[in-house]
């Protein structure tokens, strides 16, 4: 089925000038970018996005990292977009990410891991609404 998923190009990948190369991977895989913007997150916006991780030991570092520079948030649309994006990204820990995945090619550490992608249809709906109004999404 055609799905939507939220993608974030994280501060490490933006700092490396890898926005275009990462976006090209989505497009070449047949995912349409139907919304996209660059944002500087603050503690409240990043903390709210990752609220499910609030009690995890890495939460403070995660929020610190995600506010360390601008991010690019995108809505990707396509057949099985949630899984397709996760396959393109590779494992959360870049040391475990398969060759040819975005994290294998662009990420350094589990915090600075280049990209985020929604992990389920429920999180995709929440995460897309967290950053975009319906009027900002341009289906094709
Ligand atoms: P992301 O998919 O954006 O979702 C939560 C993020 O927390 C994850 O990518 C990692 O960048 C970061 N993180 C840091 N430490 C861990 C950990 N031990 N397990 C999972 N995620 C972690």
pLDDT in tens, the chain (140 residues): 999 999 999 999 999 999 999 999 999 999 999 999 999 999 999 999 999 999 999 999 999 999 999 999 999 999 999 999 999 999 999 999 999 999 999 999 999 999 999 999 999 999 999 999 989 999 88
CA-CA distance, 111 to 36, in Å (whole number)?
22
> What is residue 140's predicted lDDT score, i.e. its pLDDT?
83
pLDDT, position 89: 98
CA of 58 to the centre of ligand 1 (A): 8
- Give the whole-angstrom CA distance, residue 113 versus residue 55: 20
Whole-model pTM: value is 0.98
Tell me how far the alpha carbon of residue 111 lies from the centroid of ligand 1, in angstroms.
6
116 part of the active site = yes
CA distance 7 to 26: 10
* DSSP helix/strand/coil, 75: strand
The complex scores an ipTM of 0.96
């Amino acid at each position: 089925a055609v799905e939507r998923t939220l993608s974030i190009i994280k501060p490490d990948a933006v700092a490396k000038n890898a926005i275009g190369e990462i976006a090209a991977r989505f497009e070449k895989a047949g995912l349409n970018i139907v919304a996209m913007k660059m944002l500087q997150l603050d503690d409240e916006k990043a903390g709210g996005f990752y609220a499910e991780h609030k009690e995890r030991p890495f939460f403070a570092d995660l929020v610190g990292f995600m506010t360390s520079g601008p991010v690019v948030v995108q809505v990707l649309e396509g057949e099985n977009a949630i899984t397709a994006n996760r396959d393109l990204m590779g494992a959360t820990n870049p040391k475990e990410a398969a060759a040819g995945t975005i994290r294998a090619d662009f990420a350094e550490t589990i915090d600075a891991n280049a990209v985020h992608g929604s992990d389920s249809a429920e999180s995709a709906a929440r995460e897309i609404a967290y950053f975009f109004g319906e009027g900002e999404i341009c289906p094709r």
